[in-house]
Structure 1
Amino acid sequence: MQWLRSLLFIVQMYLAMAVLALVYIVPAVISPRGAYAGVHAYCRWVRLSARWMVGLKTEVRGEVPTDEVLIASKHQSFLDIILLCSVLPRPKFIMKKELVWAPILGWFALRMGCVPVDRGKRGAAIAKMLDDVAKGRALPGQLIIYPQGTRVAPGVAKPFKVGSAVLYRELGQDCVPAATNVGVFWPRHGIYRRPGLAVLEFLPRISAGLDQHAFMARLEQEVETRSNALMAEAGFQVEDRR
């Protein structure tokens, strides 16, 4: 029964995406604010319908940043994107270039000021990322990067990449780490959605000005430690392999 509920939830989730895209396409063409409004409406609907249809409650903890800041978040599934975009006033992502061509998502992402990069060319990707971010500064907001570069399932160890430290240094902004346990309930692949409480938590700020080594060490320690604690809270024990 839960599998069937999950399937129905996923079907309506994508139908809602199409409907809301039509509702907000004109405001989004007129202004990026229209794109943000559409994304906020969609993400809040997904959270509401997940609770109602599959028993998956969601919670955002910590102080939600509203200024121009870098956010470095744990990434486990589409749900952490939903949670971030439901509460941040002007979210924009460092995203893989292929997503530009995703129906609806790609266009709205570009209107919001998201920055596509080619992950296959590391040095060129970082240079282009910095250039694109600099050009987009006229559209202030919360720039989100996933330090591990991709979705990472609970219990899987994957190193943090240097791109987040480069952005932190070049932008000269505070960094807000974010931890999550959403992968316990909403996996990277598959249909089944497990009932429970999925959490995304904003952690204390890392002030601008740390050197690369100190920043990366603190970021990884805080994000991984807190994510493991949130997963344990959800009943998933993670062996610390670091």
Structure 2
Amino acid sequence: MIAMRNLMFKIVFYAGSVPIVLTSVISAAFGTKAMIAHTHFWTQYHGLTTRTFLRIFKRIEGERFYDSPVLYVAKHQAMYETLELGRMLRHPAIVMKQELADIPVWGWAAKRYGVIVVDREASAGALRRMLREARVALAAGRSILIFPEGTRVAPGEQPPLKAGFAGLYQMLKIPVVPIAIDSGLVWPRQGPHLPGTVTFRFGTPIPPGLPRGEAEARVHAEINALEREGGAGVRPVGPALC
């Protein structure tokens, strides 16, 4: 049954995503607002297919919306949260690695959406460009979302944060909202996706102005909160989940 559900998800989601992504260039031509609306449709489609075929739901814990833009800092274990968080957080500007921005068609449309491109080499010029794009997003009233580990990690792994987070934190001077996520339990890098529940735990905001080491330590602890609880095993599907 799990294998059949995975097959149906791949057929329906990817077959539907191809025309959505290709037509994004039309929306992108009309500016950021049109591109955000187009992306919202795609993320809704993703949520529908994951619930319908994979029986993957989500549980949201903690406060996620604030009166002014914040810097969301999230654990990254699967593709699942890259799409779900965009919709859950009212389409923040997402920090994205250069390799993804270079993908034909999709990369151009993503830039029109307002992603913030980061170079893994973390050169001074790349950091200045990232900060410039982040300030543009803040001026438009958008929050910023970054995955500070730099790449997907397996459940249980707690790598140090990349330098990009510290640069944004120190220069933007806005509160940080850490997000712990355990999507890797149902969406592993290898093997089938499993039915269950992904928890998104929004931590207590971390104020701006802290020393770099203290801010990084607090973020690292918060985004790994579910790891410390030892969530070994898939949480069951429940009727109160969305």
Give CA-to-partner distance per residue, 1:67-125, whole Å, 9 cap, x none: 31111100111001122012111321111101013255423321121111220345443
* Identity %, equivalent residues: 30
TM-score, normalising length from structure 1?
Answer: 0.86
| Higher mean C-alpha displacement, 59-68 vs 206-215 | 59-68
Q: Does 1:174 align with 2:172?
A: no
**Structure 1 CA distance, aligned partners of 2:191 and 2:87?**
22
The within-5 A match list for 1:94-113 is 94-113=95-114
Q: Which residue of 1 aligns with 2:17?
A: 17
C-alpha contact 2:74 2:180 (8 A) present in aligned 1:
yes
Shift, 1:23, TM fit: 5.7
Deviations 1:126-178 (A, max 9, x none): 33322332344443312111111111111223112232122111001011101
Whole-angstrom distance in 1 between the partners of 2:44 and 2:118: 27
- Write the deviation string for residues 187-219 of structure 1: whole angstroms up to 9, x where unpaired: 2x3461101111222212112221111111111
Q: Counterparts of 2:40 and 2:173 in 1: how far apart (Å)?
A: 28
CA contact (8 A) 1:95 1:117 kept: yes
Q: Structure 2: where are the runs of 5+ without partners?
A: 236-242
Asked if 1 retains the 8 angstrom alpha-carbon contact of 2:76 and 2:152, the reply is yes
Q: Which residue of 2 aligns with 1:217?
A: 217
Structure that is richer in helix per residue: 1
Partner of 1:196: 196
Q: Distance in 2 between matches of 1:220 and 1:201?
A: 14
1:185 aligned to 2:186?
yes
Q: How many residues get paired?
A: 234
Q: Does 1:207 align with 2:202?
A: no
RMSD: 2.3
TM-score between both structures, scaled by the size of structure 2: 0.86
1:75/1:111 CA distance change after superposition, 3 Å: same
Show CA shifts across 1:18-54 (max 9, x none). 2334565434321211111121221122122111112
Q: For structure 1, which runs of at least 5 residues remain unmatched after alignment?
A: 236-242
Partner of 1:131: 132
SS of the residue aligned with 1:95?
strand
| DSSP 3-state at the match of 2:229 | helix
1:64-143 pair list within 5 angstroms: 64-65=64-65, 67-143=68-144
User: 8 Å contact 1:93–1:114 — kept in the other structure?
Assistant: yes
